[in-house]
Every structure is written in C-alpha cells, then in structure tokens.
Structure 1
Amino acid sequence: MDLKNLWPKKDAPQIEKALKFVEKYKLKKIVLKYGGQVMANDQLSKAFAQDAAICNLIGIKSLVIHGGGPQIKKRLEKQNIKSKFILGLRVTDENVIKIVEDVLLNDINPDLVRTINSFNAIAEPITARNKNGILKVTKAKNPDLGFVADPEEIDVDKLNNIIKLNKVPVIAPMGLGDKNQVFNINADTAAGIIAIKIKATRLLLMTDVPGVKDQNGKYISKLTVSEAQTLIDNETITGGMIPKIQTCISAIKNGVGGVVIIDGTRPHAVLHELFTDEGAGTLITK
C-alpha cells in the first residue's frame, strides 16, 4: 500500500523523513493508550484513529486501549454524581460502575472502532461483555475504590490471534469477575500490563500535556526508570500522572522496549512520536 496515499495532508511529520522509521517498527508490537481530553475533541480523536490505522496498514502490529475519563465525568455530572479519586484512581461504586460500563462499552469503544475502520484498517472491539474479552479479575484492588481492579489474567493467545489477522484490537479497560461482575480498570494500568504480556516494543500513553515536568516545571524529553521514580518520591509527579508513571516503570522493568508519555493535544502525536527523531513527549527507558 502506498504510504503517500495514507499519510495525513497536514499536521503530520514530513513523509520523506518518516520513511526511515517505517522499517524500524514494521512487524513490531506497539500499544497505543488513547485517553484524556483528546477524546472530547473530534479533530484530535479522528487524527488518533487515522494514526492507529496507518500504523496497522504499514505493517506495525498496533493495539489500542482507550480510557473514557472526560465522557464518564460528563455523564456523572449530568446525573449529579460527584467524582472522587484516590491516588489518581476513580472511586467506583454500584452507580458509577453502571455509568462507566455504558460509556466505555456502548459509546467510546464502538465509535473508535468505526473511526479506525473509516481509514481502511480493520478494528476489532474487545470488551468485557463480548465473548472476546481478554481481561480477567477476581477481586477489587482496594475496598475504598469499589469496583476497581487490576487485571490478574490476560488472554494473550486471543489477542495474538487477532493481531495475526492484521486487525487492530480496540480494548475497553474493564475486567470481568467470577460472578459476571464488571470492574473498572485504569486504562494506563491495563495498557502497561498488556504491553508486558505481548512483549511490546513501545507503549505510548496519551495525555493532555507535552510530557513529564522536572522540579523546575520544564518538560523532559527523556527519563530513566530511576529518575522517574525519584520524581514520584519527591512529589514532583502528582495526581493522575502517578499511575501513568508507575505503569511506565513497571513496563520497562518487565521488558517493554520503551514507554512514552505523549502529547495528545498535538494532532497526529502518534506519527510524530514514532516517525521523527524528536518524538512527541517524554521517553522513559532503562
């Protein structure tokens, strides 16, 4: 397939400069975590879907895990339910879990699948309520968080079979428990564990900022695992960025080639990260 016909007409890296990176990532597994305010912006959402499709069509084995924070927040506010967080994780009681499930499984996942498909790739929806769900849980992460869990089991074979068919798995971060109860899973955590299990070359975590800041408030282009941990320990990194960086650290320690906190507010951030020398965020490595 001709790359020039696939490539965005504006806001993307120069195709001539991008070509040298295509072979670098061809046939490699790359996990793309889609989330943050970009999800509420039609132009940025469409650009992300196009990026995911392009990666797939040029031979990269790309997987997408999506969040849903902005949409969930909006739905909760509409029903006068106040959001509570503990260390960046949403407290999810019986009322909240129903809303989370509806937003993730009935709105965001099918919409993202349709948009990726509109760019001539084939996306496969992966959800807790489908027979192809891959995230299994048995217990809550913390009683104070309610129906929130970490995935304890990943159906890697099922995931790899979808990838072998040259499809883009689009995964909703919800796990199914023994009693058919769904649990909310932090999308960054899910993305990290999946990246580890499938031995991904890269994990890209989309955020609303250009990257990770140092103690002076300046954005950092590259961090080691130990430097990232120090930024958590000295409270330079706080709030929702904590689980993201913890995911990065765990992924690197468990064999993922590199993890990037990418700037989701930048159109075609995925292409800029993968197909330019300067990237589009903060790269975390060993």
Structure 2
Amino acid sequence: MDEAIKKADVLIEALPYIKKFRKKTFVIKYGGSILGEETIRRGVLEDIVFLSFMGIKTVLVHGGGPSISEKMRKLGKKSEFVDGMRVTDKETLRVVEEELMELNKLIVDEIHQIGGTAVGLSGKHHGLFHAEKIKARVDLGFVGIVTGVKTDLIEKDLKTSAVIVIAPMGVDGHGVVYNINADEAASKTASALTAEKFVLLTNVRGVMRNPEDPESLITSLDLTDIKSLIEQNVIQSGMIPKVNACIDALEGNVNKTHIIDARIPHALLLEIFTDKGVGTEIVK
C-alpha cells in the first residue's frame, strides 16, 4: 500500500507540469555513444512517447557520430576532426547520410514498437535545413551551418500527435548537401518553432563544478553565470558547444533549456515533471 501511495504522490507532483506543458513544443537532441546503447535508447524513447501521450508536441533531432566513425573504420577510411567538426569529403558525406538515415529509421521503428507514433524527416530530403558552407580555419569539405529552418512540414506532422524524428543534414540554394552538427540543428529547430523547452541528452550529469565530484552538479544557470564559468574553466571542452547550443536557443526565444544525463533511468521525465529535476537547467 505504501508503495502505491508513493506512486500516486509522484503523479500528483507531476500534475501542474503536465497542465503547464500540454500542447507546448519540446525539441530534444539525442546522439553520441548513448544513441548506440539499446537499453538506454529504449528508456529514452519510452520517455519521449510518454511526453507525446501527455499532449506535448515532441521533436527529436538525432546525431550519429560514433556510428559514422565505426562505418568509416570498416571502410578503411580514417575519421578526421578539426575543432570537434568532422572533415567531410564526398565519400564521407555518403557515409554520413547512410548512417543517419539508418538511425532515423531505427528510432522511428522503435517508437512504433513502444506504442507511439513517429514520423522520420531528413534535413536533406525534406528541405528542412537551409545551409551554407561553414567558414573555418581549414577547409572542412561538405560541413555546413544552418541558415534557415523550414517549419511548415514539422508543424503539420506535429498536429497528428506524432513524434518528429529529424536527421541533421542541410542543402544550400544550389542543391549542395552538407553535414550539419546535430546540436546546432536541434537548437535552430527549437528557435524556429519557438519551443517551450530545448533538451540536450548527454552522457554527463550536466554542468559540474568538478567533473570528479558527482555532488558538484549545478542545477540552474543563467547566461551571466555561463560566461563566468567559461572564464573560470569550469565549463570547458565538450561542454562548451552544448552550452552554446542552449544559449543560441534561449536567444531564439526558447523559454528554457536543459542538459541531462540520458543514462539515468527516466531522466527526461524526472527533469521535466519533478520539482528538483536531475540535470542542469539554463535560462535567460
């Protein structure tokens, strides 16, 4: 009986959040090594289907870096990165597209298996992301930045209560296809949709004052805090582009952003529907 009462208490705690976020739009970015782990992926997708059933319009933008690197290795081709960006020649671009579309189909199929509804979209094939070649200190090949997001198709599919699953590739005005960073694609999508929330699923707890101390999680930050923490080297390395994606989303009129650890069971639900949350929220 006590266990049943605790479960009811959790539902009551979630009620005001369910009421607040119903019919709002969430954009979630999911990628990296955690995308390739079946148990973690299943849990994340169950949470996303739950959001959909709660009446939340949910968009999932996925990456696929490790899968792409593994395929490149099997083909005997070395993966090369500059400032965290994959150097993308024509052959690499073909591998990127193949792997992203395979992952897109896998995610859509698994959402259907769980009992949800999903629609897979490609930034290339559906013209979602208008892109241009990135200007970097060296030529990265077919690597682009998002200069525009075509939202009408996304909004049309969201009206069907489907989870929209997007593969991050872009096309310029001349039909040239580009590899797009998934964090950037997700952030730009959140801004274009004026999303209520932008959530980055990672393999770390969030922003930590000391990565070696699990108790040093910073649960809430604003833009001023972030600037100070970067100057202090508290936020560094791979966390900087994630934080910058959150900043871009906030500056694009997204209400609130979150960085959470997808390895925590039901982290997405705990962050959104409980008072304390489990990761780092970043607000204006």
TM-score above 0.5, yes or no: yes
Equivalent of residue 43 in structure 2, options 33, 47, 50: 47
Shift of 1:117: 1.6
Shift of 1:55: 0.8
- SS of the residue 2:143 aligns to: coil
Equivalent of residue 82 in structure 2, options 86, 109, 134: 86
| Residue of structure 1 in register with 2:119 after alignment | 124
Equivalent of residue 187 in structure 1, options 165, 174, 182: 182
Equivalent of residue 228 in structure 1, options 221, 226, 241: 226
Task: In structure 2, give the amino acid aligned to 1:48.
Answer: V
Residue by residue, what CA displacement relative to the aligned partner does 1:33-61 show, whole Å, maximum 9, x if unpaired? 11122212111101111111111111001
| Residue of structure 2 in register with 1:29 after alignment | 25
Residue by residue, what CA displacement relative to the aligned partner does 1:89-146 show, whole Å, maximum 9, x if unpaired? 22222222111111001x100000111122222211111453x331111333435322
| Residue of structure 2 in register with 1:10 after alignment | none
Query: Aligned pair in 2 of structure 1 residues 234, 84: CA closer, same or farther (>3 Å)?
Result: farther
Q: After the TM superposition, which segments of 4 or more aligned residues of structure 1 sit over 6 Å from their partners?
A: none
Equivalent of residue 278 in structure 2, options 277, 280, 283: 280
Equivalent of residue 152 in structure 1, options 128, 138, 147: 147
Equivalent of residue 247 in structure 1, options 236, 245, 248: 245
| Residue of structure 2 in register with 1:270 after alignment | 268
Looking at structure 1, the residues matched to 106 and 211 of structure 2 have their Cα atoms a distance apart, in angstroms, of: 40
CA RMSD, Structure 1 to Structure 2 (Å): 2.0
Equivalent of residue 99 in structure 1, options 95, 112, 126: 95
Residue by residue, what CA displacement relative to the aligned partner does 1:68-107 show, whole Å, maximum 9, x if unpaired? 12211222222333333333222222222111111001x1
Looking at structure 2, the residues matched to 215 and 227 of structure 1 have their Cα atoms a distance apart, in angstroms, of: 16
| Residue of structure 2 in register with 1:138 after alignment | 132
- SS of the residue 1:150 aligns to: strand
Looking at structure 1, the residues matched to 77 and 179 of structure 2 have their Cα atoms a distance apart, in angstroms, of: 17
- SS of the residue 1:212 aligns to: coil
Say whether the 8 Å CA contact 1:202–1:257 is kept in structure 2.
yes
Shift of 1:188: 0.7
Matched, 1:77 2:76: no
Structure showing greater radius of gyration is 2
Say whether the 8 Å CA contact 1:44–1:268 is kept in structure 2.
no
Say whether the 8 Å CA contact 2:123–2:166 is kept in structure 1.
no
Q: Superposition pairs for residues 142-221 of structure 1, below 5 Å?
A: 142=136, 144-214=139-209, 218-221=216-219
- SS of the residue 1:53 aligns to: helix
Looking at structure 2, the residues matched to 116 and 100 of structure 1 have their Cα atoms a distance apart, in angstroms, of: 23
- SS of the residue 1:200 aligns to: coil
Q: Which 10-residue stretch deviates more, 192-201 or 220-229? A: 220-229
Number of aligned residues: 272
Say whether the 8 Å CA contact 2:47–2:269 is kept in structure 1.
yes
- SS of the residue 1:145 aligns to: coil
- The share of aligned pairs that are identical, in percent, is 36
Q: Could you list the runs of 5+ residues in structure 2 that have no partner in the other structure?
A: 1-8
